[in-house]
Amino acid sequence: MTELKDLERELSRFRGRLVAAAAFVLLGFGLLTARLVYLQIFRHAELATQAEANRIAVVPIQPTRGLIVDRNGVVLASNYSAYTLEITPARVAGGAAGLDALIDQLSTLVEIGPRDRRRFKQLLEESKGIDSLPIRTKLSDEEVARFVAQRFRFPGVDVKARLFRSYPLGSVGSHLLGYIGRINPAEKKAMEDWPEEQQANYKGTEYIGKLGLEQSYETELHGITGFEEVETSANGRAVRRLKVHPPTPGNKLVLSIDIKLQALVEQLYGDRRGALVAIDPRNGDVLAFVSMPNFDPNQFVDGIDSENWRALNESIDKPLLNRALRGTYPPGSTYKPYMALAALEMGKRTPQQTIYDPGYFMFGNHRFRDDKEGGHGTVNMYRALVESCDTYFYMVAADLGVDAIAEHTARFGFGHLTGIDLQGEVRGVLPSTAWKRAAYRKPDQQRWYAGETISLGIGQGYNSYTILQMANAAATLAADGQRHKPHLVHEEIDAVGGAKHLIAADPLPPVVVKPEYWDVVHKAMIGVNADPEGTAVAAFKGAPYVSAGKTGTAQVVGIKANEKYNAASLAERLRDHALYIAYAPADKPTVALALVVENAGFGAGAAAPIARRVFDYLLLGQYPSVEDIAAVRAGKGTTPVGTSRRAVDVPLPGQEAAPAAAAAASAPNATVAAR
């Protein structure tokens, strides 16, 4: 009996466990069913969308960057497609050692030189490690095929097709064009403050304008980013394309620059340092914008390596400095026409009034020397400008005073930004009592001394301006006071509809001066180039047109009162700068310019001959002979030598001559007259 009772008790316990197990299983299935119902019914739409998103990738499509062409249609900046071999460092194991080993392995398939390694290292230092960085650019089809066949061996490495910027003329016009470069961390951070729409437009963009027009017109040149929806596999590889929204290319920029003239001026400078800006005084079109030495912007397109960057950045000649925009110089005697106008307007001088120049001007106990030993004798305003008499303008400055000089010359743009369509322009220094109080801290430094005014009359002292400001002032002078904002871009052509948008703004308020005062200065500046005593007459002898100009020589270091300037005794970089301003034709000017040749001595010998060749090119369609270019480069040019060539027949650097029919359309004298 006891055994039966024990058996029943065990069966009862077993049934209880079975029921508990069944209940637990049913509960588990119930919870699973409830979860499935919740996911399948209540969250169906949300999860379906997420699944679709995991399956479909939205890939940005970078737009083609807009072209930049000169006024005659010569392409200055274009694009081409090429393959790059790229590494994503975050996907490479082993850190720096692993990267070096990977690059060594890649070099067995694709040539990777020391420059490629240096550039990659620099890009790696600037990136966050998650970016895809190029180790080799511009791969050949054979190199691409070799790598693709072995791709499985190199995780984190891939071949990509990219658009590259190209500057076909190399260093010609590099300072005005600028260059594009890879977006650095600081720029990426700055982009975070952009409007959302603008940030979205730069998705997938890795290169932006860094300098020059590429930077100033970045938005117009960039275009509108497109995108494509791509179905991807589980490992993230594209399976098929579902939808495409094509990008909109960037707009084309048509410059006012004549690039053949630009190249000619750069040739005339040779190895010398300096700057030249030529402007059409009728509308503000910049015809040439030269800064020497220059550089090849193609070096920056796929990332410049540290060695070449150091060579450019640490060069004593400062090739990366835009001297036309950011270099400041004392204007020297090129300042005298504006001083003459101020004296006439304020009634401090009449054109006929004369002074006697003994070769110096005494102010207190200080002797201010004239450039001509023994002086110019008796001179009026005409002779003072034609012969560049310093003593005459020392006296004018003393009679005007510093603040009156500042007030009158400021109207021509001295000491003010011109507003040209380039970033980074500097103001220079237009001295005044207010300027000095703001520039210095100590009371004795803030005080303006009367003796400091004297040197201002000949463009020395605190005077310091850009060549762009001097050219802009010369253009205003040439146009009898009419002012325009200088600009490098003449028009912008829409990439979609082809609509043209002129960049030139309305004229600015003019400088109002009595017509008879303009005539006095114009006649004297014509005399500078034509009068037998004119300081620039040698350079313009035999010219079939009438031009006006003013030479200038600016001291780099001061000379003591009892000493005489001797260039041979000074280091080359301590010698005087040669300056020149001019415009032509004198009766109806179509071009005005200013230029400096650093440490080259007298403006008449080093600067005026360059201006003569610019005028011959623009007004006559003539290009100097090879021997004449060599003479000017050597600082020995006066009037042109050899047989001049037709400008349309001379090819651009590195390019073959265009057919005569095509070249005729770009005749410089016809083009300038049309604009």
- Tens digit of each residue's pLDDT (9 = 90 or more) over 292-336: 999 999 998 877 877 888 899 999 999 999 999 999 999 999 999
How confident is residue 157, by pLDDT bands cut at 50, 70 and 90?
Answer: confident
- Residues of the chain with pLDDT > 70, as a percent, come to 90
Q: Beta partners for 81?
A: 163
Q: Beta partners for 366?
A: 363
Q: How far apart are CA 273 and CA 593, in angstroms?
A: 17
Q: How far apart are CA 302 and CA 294, in angstroms?
A: 19
Q: How far apart are CA 71 and CA 68, in angstroms?
A: 10
- The residue with tokens 């995991």 is 54
**CA proximity to 120, closest of 129, 76, 57, 572:** 129
Task: Look up residue 359 and give its DSSP letter.
Answer: S
Write down the pLDDT at residue 50: 55
CA distances from 1 to 5, 7, 8, 13, 459 (A): 6, 10, 11, 19, 134
Q: What is the pLDDT of residues 442-451, one digit of tens each?
A: 999 999 999 9
**At 471, phi and psi to the nearest 5?**
-70, -40
CB 165 within 8 A of CB 179: yes
Q: Which of 256, 291, 333, 666 is catalytic?
A: 333
How confident is residue 10, by pLDDT bands cut at 50, 70 and 90?
Answer: confident
Q: What is the mean pLDDT of residues 382-404?
A: 97
Write down the pLDDT at residue 277: 98
Q: How far apart are CA 118 and CA 386, in angstroms?
A: 57
Handedness of CA 612, 615, 619, 623 (dihedral sign): positive
- The residue with tokens 């030598």 is 641
Q: What is the pLDDT of residues 496-529, one digit of tens each?
A: 888 888 887 789 999 999 999 999 999 999 999 9
Q: Beta partners for 166?
A: 78
Instruction: Give DSSP secondary structure letters for 389-458.
Output: -HHHHHHHHHHH-HHHHHHHHHTTTTTS----SSTT----B---HHHHHHH--SHHHHSPPHHHHHGGGG
Q: What is the mean pLDDT of residues 554-559?
A: 70
**At 280, phi and psi to the nearest 5?**
-80, 110
The residue with greater pLDDT, 515 or 201, is 515
Q: Show the tokens assigned to 535.
A: 């300081």
Question: 654: helix, coil or strand?
Answer: coil
Q: What is the pLDDT of residues 339-366, one digit of tens each?
A: 999 999 999 999 999 999 999 999 988 9
Q: How far apart are CA 346 and CA 575, in angstroms?
A: 35
Question: Could you report how far apart the first and last alpha carbons of the chain are, in Å?
Answer: 127
**Other CB atoms within 10 A of residue 354 CB:** 15
Write down the pLDDT at residue 656: 56
How confident is residue 568, by pLDDT bands cut at 50, 70 and 90?
Answer: low
**CA proximity to 308, closest of 104, 114, 136:** 114
Active site residue 333: yes
CA distances from 248 to 66, 194, 220, 252, 493 (A): 10, 20, 11, 12, 13
Q: Residue 668: is its pLDDT beyond 50?
A: no
Write down the pLDDT at residue 125: 77
